[in-house]
Amino acid sequence: MLKEEVMRSTIGHTLDGQPNRILLVTIHHMLYPITVEVLHQVFSPHGFVEKIVTFQKSAGFQALIQYQGCQSAVSARTSLQGRNIYDGCCQLDIQFSNLDELQVHYNNDRSRDFTNPNLPTEQKGRSTQHPGYGDVGGMYTSEAHGARAVGFSQMANAAAIAAAFGGGLPPGISGTNDRCTVLVSNLNPDRIDEDKLFNLFSLYGNIVRIKLLRNKPDHALVQMGDGFQAELAVHFLKGAMLFGKRLEVNFSKHPNITQGADTHEYVNSNLNRFNRNAAKNYRYCCSPTKMVHLSTLPQDVTEEEIVNHLAEHGTIVNTKLFEMNGKKQALVMFETEEQATEALVSKHATSLGGSIIRISFSQLQTIRENSL
């Protein structure tokens, strides 16, 4: 009801109208979903924000921001017009609204009355949003795609996943897991180590620390950056073959791994893949495949050098060296998924021709000359 009411009210907004305490904000190039709480963090430094309402229109994602006073709205528009919420995306287009007062009926991730915290989260009879608004508040949900409420501390990753998968989540991923630590068993203790586990699990999220269990040499604990990333790792790696063993990957009963002499720390590693381009990295998440993708290669690298670097891990069926955005990259197809996985865990972040190379699984089924 609120959405329809506000959408009707916004028809006829004038561009750059007279200053008003209510702003009409349009988000352009929205790679990440924007919640009420994100908008509040962006706009509240300019004055007390009383109410926020968000909605989707033909112009795209829009929001109405109501300040306590007109001067705050003027200040916000002057400072924020044309700025990006996130680097390179979510650009703010801000106009003065011609509305006098916003009517907010529910406090949730789509609308909020900061002057009345006692409003319900949803109409009776409908599923409510998670009630636990923390210090920074807000929940990210995507009801249309079956994703349930996720804590704001994970919102950036939730948004990146949603952006990567077209607004939803991959099949089999609930988006509700909050357990960050994963138990990996049936490892080959003679060939596995912490760095190899890092190379594999870092495909699905940032790694905090890893511990090989000395009393169970074929077991290890891997602490991921958050519950989303742990769920991706469990989903995509369960049953994967590595060093002749079929991996068992499950959530651990331990919420985290206690730092100690027998743990390897990766929280500050510059090899963690999700500190930058998170949406792109989520988009590439998949179960192990026969094909690996190599990047950050030296500009003068040859296919022969790439084959020689990886050949010890299995039979290479095909390769392709190509250039994208001025940078050399390669596809290498192995005979089996296990061979490709071994090559990835053993040679990701190794030096080839003076460059530290990156390896990930490719979802391409075959190598064609015109496939890229």
Q: pLDDT tens digits for 150-186? A: 333 344 555 666 667 666 677 788 877 889 999 999 9
Do residues 303 and 277 both lie within one domain? Answer: no
186 shares a domain with 261: yes
Pairwise CA distance, residues 372 & 370, whole Å: 6
The reply to whether 94 falls in a domain is yes
Q: Is residue 71 domain-shared with residue 88, that is, in the same domain?
A: yes
In this structure, the answer to whether residues 315 and 227 fall within a common structural domain is no
Match 């079956």 to its residue by tokens: 146
Asked if 299 and 224 sit in the same domain, the reply is: no
Residue 116 has pLDDT above 60, yes or no: yes
142 pLDDT band, cuts 50/70/90, is very low
What is the tally of structural domains in the chain? 3
Q: Is residue 299 part of a domain?
A: yes
Contact between 356 and 349 under an 8 Å Cβ cutoff? The reply is: yes
Please give the biggest Cα pair distance in the chain.
73
User: Quick one: which of 91, 86, 74 has its CA closest to 23?
Assistant: 74
Task: Give residue-wise pLDDT tens across range 329-357.
Answer: 999 999 999 999 999 999 999 999 999 99
* One domain, residues 195 and 226: yes
Q: Please state the pTM of the whole predicted model.
A: 0.60
- Segment 94-117 shows an average pLDDT of 90
Residue 17 structure tokens: 């109208």
pLDDT (0 to 100) of residue 291: 96
pLDDT at 158: 55
Is the pLDDT at 4 greater than 60? The verdict is: no
CATH number for the domain that contains residue 302: 3.30.70.330
| 193 and 275 assigned to the same domain | yes
For tokens 């519950």, the residue is 227
Print the domain residue range for 316: 291-361
One domain, residues 273 and 296: no
Q: Does position 249 have pLDDT exceeding 50, yes or no?
A: yes
Show which of 249, 282, 315 is a domain's final residue: 282
Total Cβ atoms within 10 A of residue 41: 15
Please check whether residues 190 and 248 belong to one and the same domain. yes
User: Which residue, 81, 68, 83, is CA-closest to 16?
Assistant: 81
Overall average pLDDT of the 113-135 stretch: 56
pLDDT of 314 higher than 70: yes
The DSSP symbol for 100 reads S
pLDDT of residue 134: 24
Residue 12: inside a domain, yes or no?
no
pLDDT in tens, 194-230: 999 999 999 999 999 999 999 999 999 999 998 889 9
Domain assignment of residue 338, yes or no: yes
Do residues 276 and 295 both lie within one domain? Answer: no
- Tell me what pLDDT residue 138 has: 26
**Structural tokens at position 270:** 């510059």
- Same domain? 270 vs 344: no
Domain annotation covers residue 36? yes
Q: What are the phi and psi torsion angles at 27 (to 5°)?
A: -100, 115
Is 6 part of a structural domain of the chain? no
Residue 38 has pLDDT above 80, yes or no: yes
Same domain, 259 and 299: no
Asked whether residue 150 is assigned to any structural domain, the reply reads no
Up-side HSE of residue 71: CA atoms within 13 Å toward CB?
Answer: 0
Predicted confidence (pLDDT) per residue in 42-87, tens digit: 999 999 999 999 887 766 788 999 999 999 999 999 999 999 887 6
Residue 135 pLDDT > 80, yes or no? no
> Rounded to 5 degrees, what are φ and ψ at 226?
-160, 180
Listed residues 113, 135, 167: the one ending a domain:
113
Residue 61 lies in a domain: yes
pLDDT of residue 282: 85
Residue 123, pLDDT score: 53
Q: Which of 217, 250, 282 is the last residue of a domain?
A: 282
